[in-house]
Structure 1
Amino acid sequence: MSLIYLLVPFGSPLFDSLSLRQSEPFQVITWLTGNLSHSDGNHLFWNLAALLLLGFFIEQESRWLMLCALLVGFVAIDIWFFIQTRFQQYVGLSGALNTILVCALYTLRKPGHWLRGNEILWLVLLLAFAKNGYEYATHSALFSNTRWPTTPSFHIVGMLAGCGLVCLWWRLRFGKEN
């Protein structure tokens, strides 16, 4: 992501060709590069910081879960981009990071009871949904300031994809025991 940011600056023709664009839905490479490109340094910094922290927690349990979270997050965001009608162009990892956030919270859980001992994790999940809901309702970012308008519907879709992945992961991992 850092190399893309340094080598392909915002506003350049190559930057546009790496971003998801409503006008060109069948550019398969942009389904990856759109999630890895960033509009400005602030955007890149916060996405990298979150990826490093959340990825660390997930990889403590399973690298496969981390790879699945990235894949599911990218696919969910890409599909949502071509369904929604508000944005004509998209770059950034924050939508998929919300998938990764849900998976990280899952890996931090205390086993045994779905609620008891995990209240803080549920609070973080609830606050993340509330933040994304607020941003969706107001069309403004609560904590960050980037070159592009905030995309809270992408964040919500990422969180929902993460919830689906965690349910599937749980079922595959523990389903035979129950």
Structure 2
Amino acid sequence: MNVFVGILLFIAWAAVVAISDCRWRRISNSVVVAGLAAALCCAFFQCGPFDISPAQAGIGALVGLVALLPFFALGVMGAADVKVFAVLGAWCGMHALPGLWMAASLAAGVHALWLLITTRTRIAGLVRQSGATLELAGKASTPYAACLTVAASAWLVVHGMAGGVR
């Protein structure tokens, strides 16, 4: 296997996650497990797009899981977001996680601000004039896992341009 296969697997997985999160605000466990398996296989066969060893992939997955787990426990983040971040740790390594977290959080903040403006929420008092603002069932909430995978895909492009992709 060569690195091109790893790039295709990563982009395909990231696209499925982003589309699922944006469209249904749900990411099935099978998509998460498939992404983790692909990341670990790419690391094992040294064909991953981010040149991660199996040990780095395992540590990255663990760090990704532990880093966002408190947010899930506090009820401010979905379980799928945490699991996707762990899988991104397996794909990209733990060294990439802080940057991905910051980029995704900035994108999510812009999305939330856009929702506040477009739903005519008065920001000063956070009082709604009509309808729910950041609701989940109505899909107005921010698709954080999509923000994470878009940030990781952008990092892949930057990483590739810098000569990091073999």
TM-score band, normalised by shorter chain: 0.3 to 0.5
TM-score of the pair, normalised by structure 1: 0.34
TM-score of the pair, normalised by structure 2: 0.36
The structure with higher relative contact order (CA 8 Å, sep 6+) is 2
